[in-house]
């Protein structure tokens, strides 16, 4: 017994394996969710600015190595378009699961669980529920599977239910928890530093995303070698600054800033940049890549790039 609760025992390698499984699954089915490093056997983030800068892809080697060295990790929701529920009472858990069969794991206190959801329409913040539970969205985080509770229990050791997180509207989520809400929503309550991204462009327009200094000008367009895969002719890439679009003559593909960021950060290849390609969870992979590349907040990126 630990603190009056039965200990959920598991080997060190066992808890790392749990973390690996959860990280891989979240990366595949919910890339908009991010990971942060947490102090060993605690719930306190190691770094400031974890809602805007110091967060990582959920399958990050940085986070995994931290876990392998004994640290904990948290799942965070910088965009506010995902959240986790503290299923700390049977009624709250039942309300969460009434929305569908979603990803879930046990927390450190026996009988407590965490359920994950994706939000399809509007950011959700942190909302206090009865008995100290929370809806944890933008500005919030929960310990991930494989982490160790201060009482010694391992998250995900009793239950690690790996199914894709259910997608709901914000209104649908709030409706099922209406009778449990005891406070107002806060969209971001995490500590911040004064850091600004060193690699951030002046804007997320093509004129600031592509260096055309060596290109040949043709009206409002500039033509030169493709910045990513190069060119045998030196003229297989055109960017029109007035139209805010680009085109690759080698592959017959192109798009606007969103598609260019997807290609330039390696989320998709140039030949994949066709209309309608960057949507759904792939959109969030691009947002995450842009966040890592430029140090800009999720909120700023989503506002500038939209969801198309």
Mean pLDDT of the chain, nearest integer: 89
Q: Which of 83, 293, 48, 61 is nearest to 195 (CA)?
A: 48
Q: Are residues 214 and 148 in the same domain?
A: no
CA gap 192, 48 in Å, rounded: 6
* CATH, residue 129: 3.30.2250
The domain tally of the chain equals 2
| C-alpha to C-alpha distance for 168 and 119, rounded to whole angstroms | 5
Q: What is the pLDDT of residues 182-227, one digit of tens each?
A: 999 987 655 444 444 445 677 899 999 999 999 999 999 999 999 9
Q: Which of 29, 62, 253, 265 is nearest to 161 (CA)?
A: 29
Separation between Cα atoms, residue 273 and residue 277, nearest integer Å? 6
Residues 62 and 123 in one domain: yes
Q: Do 154 and 249 have their domain in common?
A: no
**Tens digit of pLDDT for each residue in 218-251?**
999 999 999 999 999 999 999 999 999 999 999 9
Q: Mind listing the pLDDT tens digit for each residue in 129-146?
A: 999 999 999 889 999 999
Q: 158 and 277: one domain?
A: no
For residue 224, the domain's CATH number is: 3.90.580
Q: Which residue has the tokens 């009624």?
A: 91
266 Rama class: left (phi>0) / alpha (psi -120 to 50) / beta? left
């Amino acid at each position: 017994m630990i603190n009056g609760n039965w200990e959920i025992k598991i080997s060190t390698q066992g808890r790392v394996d749990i973390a690996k499984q959860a990280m891989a699954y979240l990366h595949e089915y919910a890339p908009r969710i991010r990971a942060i490093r947490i102090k060993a056997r605690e719930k306190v983030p190691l770094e400031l600015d974890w809602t805007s800068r110091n967060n990582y892809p959920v399958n990050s080697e940085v986070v995994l190595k931290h876990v392998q060295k004994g640290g904990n990790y948290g799942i965070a929701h910088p965009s506010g378009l995902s959240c986790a529920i503290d299923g700390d009472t049977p009624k709250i858990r039942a309300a969460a699961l009434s929305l569908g069969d979603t990803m879930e794991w046990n927390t450190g206190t026996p009988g407590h669980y965490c359920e994950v959801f994706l939000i399809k329409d509007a950011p959700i913040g942190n909302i206090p529920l009865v008995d100290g539970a929370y809806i944890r969205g933008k500005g919030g985080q929960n310990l991930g599977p494989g982490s160790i509770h201060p009482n010694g229990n391992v998250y995900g050791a009793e239950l690690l239910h790996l199914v894709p997180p259910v997608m709901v509207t914000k209104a649908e989520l709030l409706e099922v928890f209406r009778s449990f809400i005891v406070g107002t929503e806060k969209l971001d309550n995490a500590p911040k530093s004064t850091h600004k991204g060193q690699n951030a462009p002046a804007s997320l327009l093509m004129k600031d995303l592509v260096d055309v200094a060596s290109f040949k000008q043709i009206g409002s367009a500039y033509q030169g070698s493709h910045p990513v895969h190069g060119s045998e002719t030196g003229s297989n890439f055109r960017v029109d600054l007035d139209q805010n679009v680009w085109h690759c003559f080698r592959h017959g593909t192109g798009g606007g800033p969103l598609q260019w960021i997807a290609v330039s950060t390696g989320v998709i290849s140039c030949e994949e940049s066709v209309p309608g390609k960057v949507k759904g969870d792939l959109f969030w992979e691009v947002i995450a890549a842009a966040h890592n590349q430029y140090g800009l907040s999720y909120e700023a990126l989503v506002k500038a790039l939209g969801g198309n």
